[in-house]
Structure 1
Amino acid sequence: MSYSVLIQPSGLRFNAEAGRSLLRAAEDVGVVLPSSCRNGTCRTCLCQVREGSVVHTIEWPGVTREERAEGWILPCVAEARSDIVIDVPLAASFGD
């Protein structure tokens, strides 16, 4: 199963396979999201879900309970559970 991911404000789109982090799924198709540690601690990839749902693959990712309630996620350790829209102002494609 895969889910559609729309990145705002760029309008970039990609599909994320179930079981694949959003960061890896983006990279698979040439979409560049900010990243550094890739393990949920540095917060470089922090972004906000506007629509849809995700699940973090680690128990305590580097987001607070309040941030999670506001839709903030870490794509390096998050997987889509539905079609989603995320707000990532610095997203780009490899050709940009």
Structure 2
Amino acid sequence: MTTFDDRENAYENKFAHDAELQFKADARCNKMLGEWAAGLLGKSGPEAAAYIGEVVTSDFEEAGHEDVYRKLSADLDGKADEPTIRAKMAECMLEARRQVLEEN
């Protein structure tokens, strides 16, 4: 292999690793958001676990986090406004990234 090939492979490996870490952080963030929202909705036990799963899977509708925001906004109508939800989303993402990086 040439030096160029080595560099290309290293870049591809880094890209794949970074994408995997981002996926894990997104999923963890969504789980945290689901736990927070379930608490606001008064859900616990299996009902809360099912709701958390709904929040996590809502992220698969489109790229980005707006699909999760729409789900939370609709479900938390009257319990949390847009600035509160968006602030919690940012807070959870920071915490999720920190946790994922600590694990790796």
Structure with the bigger RCO (C-alpha within 8 Å, sep 6+) is 1
Q: TM-score, normalising length from structure 2?
A: 0.26
Q: Could you say which structure has the higher helix fraction?
A: 2
Q: Could you say which structure has the higher strand fraction?
A: 1
